[in-house]
Structures are given as C-alpha cells and as structure tokens.
A = this chain, B = another copy of it.
Amino acid sequence: MIRSFAFTTQGRLHSKDIQTFLMPTLLADTNLFLWVDLEKPTAEEAKFILEELFHFHPLSVEDCVQVSSSPKVEEYSPKEDDKFAPYLFMVIHAVDYSRKDGVFATSELNFFLGKNFLVTYHEAPLRSVQATEERCLKSTVHIARAPDRVAHTLLDGIVENYKPALDELALEIGELEEDVVKRPSPKMLNKIIKIKKEVLHLRQIIGPQREVLARFAAGEFKLIRPHLVPYYRDVYDGLFRISETAQNYTDSLTGLLHVYLNMSSNQTGEVIKLLTLITLITTPLTLVGTWYGMNFKNMPELDWKLGYELAMAIVLVSTAVIWWWFKKKKWF
C-alpha cells in the first residue's frame, strides 16, 4: 500500500494520494515537500518508487527491501552519473507492543530523507507512522513543514513505543521477585534466564539504534537543519533512558538469579535439617528399644518392677531434652 502526501513549507496539506506520474512535478516545486509511505508494497510498487522515481542508490534499496538489516544511517551524495538527489538512508527498529511467546518482535522502518522528500518503507503497519500521519493532517501548521520535522516525529513515536515493552518486562520481573522468595522451583530459573535473554535482546536492539541517533544528536548530517538538532538530541536522550532502564533490569535479574539459587540450595539445606532432626529425636527410643529387645538370659532390668516405666521415662526425658535443645537453637 502506498500513501503519499504533499505539504507546503507552511505545513499545509497540498494534496494526498498523489498519482505517481504527478510526483516528479511536485518534487520539482520548491514550495512543496513530499512524503511517500510504502506499507508492505508489492515488489513492483517498491521498484517503481525507489528505483524509477527517486533513483535511490541500489545498495540502500537492497537494504530497505531486505528484512533483517541492522539499524544504520548512511549519507548518499550523488556522483556525476547518479540521478538521485542527496539523501539520508536510515533503518530503525520499532518494537511491537505485545510479545508473543515471550519474544519481542521488531519491525523495521526505513527512511529516505531528502531536502524536499521523505520516503518511508515498512512491512508491517506501524503505530508510530499512523500517529504521525494523523498529527500531520490534523495540526498541519506545526508538524509537516519539512521532511526532517516529520522524520523527528516518527522517530519520537518509535522510541515512545519502547516504553510499554519495558513496562511489561518490569511487571514480569516484579512477579518473579515475589514468587522466587515464596516457592523457588526450577521452572523459575528457566523464566529468569529467559527474561534475562529477552532484556539482553532488547539492549542489543537498542544499542545500534543509539549509535544512529547519537549521530543525529551530534548534528552530523547537513540534511537535518541545525535548529532541529536539539529535538533529535531529545529523542536520543529518551532512548538513553530506556537503555539505562534495561540495564537496571539486567542487574535485578542477576540479583534474582542469586536469590533463586540460594533459595534452592537453602531448600535442600532445610530438608537435610529435617532428616537430621527426625534421626536425632527418634534416637533415644530406638536405642532403648533395641537394647531391651536383646534376649540375654541375665538382664536384671527386664525383671525390675518398674523397668518398663523407667525405660519409658528415660526415652521421654531424653527426647524432650533433644527437642528443647534444637528448639532453642531455632532449628524449627
């Protein structure tokens, strides 16, 4: 699906759903800029827009169309025989709102940002793209005055959308922290390690993103006008905080792992304590019982009048003493 918009430099919508043969004319008009959004386009559509209309460099087109490329930003300036206008090519990964099977899915958003055009390309519908579109159409005066402003709004939206993913992780970690102390089980270990992997994965997604945004924040690109650089720095700061939060989660999970492993070995310790306790407490009866079960002819105690009662008393008293002793030592 192709959505296209032409805005005047005053931020007003000039036209919408532009027919492709009209685009070159609009591009030539210096009072306008064009935003073409390709959402899961057919191969022909992609080829037409990216190659035949804008003549983008084949490498950036390849990176754009191909699924699993890493976040990057590259500046393309035309050589003598190139037909494209100078542009920035950028790949950014948006995180999907809800995880399936505990795995974050990411979708790529590819930007081609020129002086008077912005081409965005994505396979899945993206929350951030949709929201930006709506904002551009509603309050056109403020946002849609230049491609670098629209790009900023898109990036801001993408970074914002990382937060629900973090919140979900925070929730799961919180639950685990409670469960581990209550009843540690090997399943919990699996979960801790799985979430840790998930957080590491998230940090790995964010890492190259940060590098890309850092270059924007440093004002490295001429196509981003200087007075917009602080806005990009703001987006960078947002991502930095997210990455710091993720770092916190890693620390929490490492702590949790320690707690779990200790709870688990502690449980075994408690079982051994129980075994030892039962052995100790039954010792007096066992010893007395075994002893007076002997069949010696000449065992005077057996004939004593109160022999049995005495044996019983010995057993009861020593069991009570052992009981009291370990009670005092806080074994149970």
Interface residue? A4 (CB, 8 A): no
Beta-carbon contact of A264 and B263 below 8 Å: no
Most buried by B among A196, A291, A298: A291
A186: shortest Cβ distance to chain B, in Å? 5
Interface residue? A328 (CB, 8 A): no
Beta-carbon contact of A297 and B303 below 8 Å: yes
A196: shortest Cβ distance to chain B, in Å? 7
Set of chain B residues within 8 Å of A268, measured between Cβ atoms: 265, 268-269, 272-273
Interface residue? A168 (CB, 8 A): no
A56: shortest Cβ distance to chain B, in Å? 12
Chain A interface mostly helix, strand, loop or mixed? helix
Beta-carbon contact of B286 and A290 below 8 Å: yes
The digit string for A231-274, where 1 denotes a CB below 8 A from any CB of B, is: 10110010011001001100110010111011111111101111
Beta-carbon contact of B295 and A299 below 8 Å: yes
Cα distance, A72 to B252, chains bound together (Å): 26
Interface residue? A30 (CB, 8 A): no
Interface residue? A280 (CB, 8 A): yes
Contact of A285 among B231, B257, B275, B291 (CB under 8 A): B291
Cα distance, A282 to B261, chains bound together (Å): 31
Set of chain B residues within 8 Å of A279, measured between Cβ atoms: 275, 278-279
A23: shortest Cβ distance to chain B, in Å? 26
Set of chain B residues within 8 Å of A264, measured between Cβ atoms: 262, 265-266, 269
Cα distance, A201 to B248, chains bound together (Å): 8
Set of chain B residues within 8 Å of A288, measured between Cβ atoms: 294
Set of chain B residues within 8 Å of A311, measured between Cβ atoms: 294, 296
Residue of B whose beta carbon sits closest to that of A276: B275
Interface residue? A302 (CB, 8 A): yes
Interface residue? A174 (CB, 8 A): no
Interface residue? A305 (CB, 8 A): yes
Take A296-B292, A296-B307, A311-B294 as given contacts and tell me if A193 and B263 are in contact as well, using a CB distance cutoff of 8 Å: no
A220: shortest Cβ distance to chain B, in Å? 15
Contact of A257 among B57, B258, B266 (CB under 8 A): B258
A221: shortest Cβ distance to chain B, in Å? 16
Contacts A282-B287, A295-B299 given; 16 further ones with Cβ under 8 A? A62-B234, A79-B227, A186-B263, A193-B259, A197-B252, A257-B258, A264-B269, A272-B272, A274-B280, A287-B289, A290-B290, A293-B293, A296-B307, A296-B311, A297-B307, A298-B306
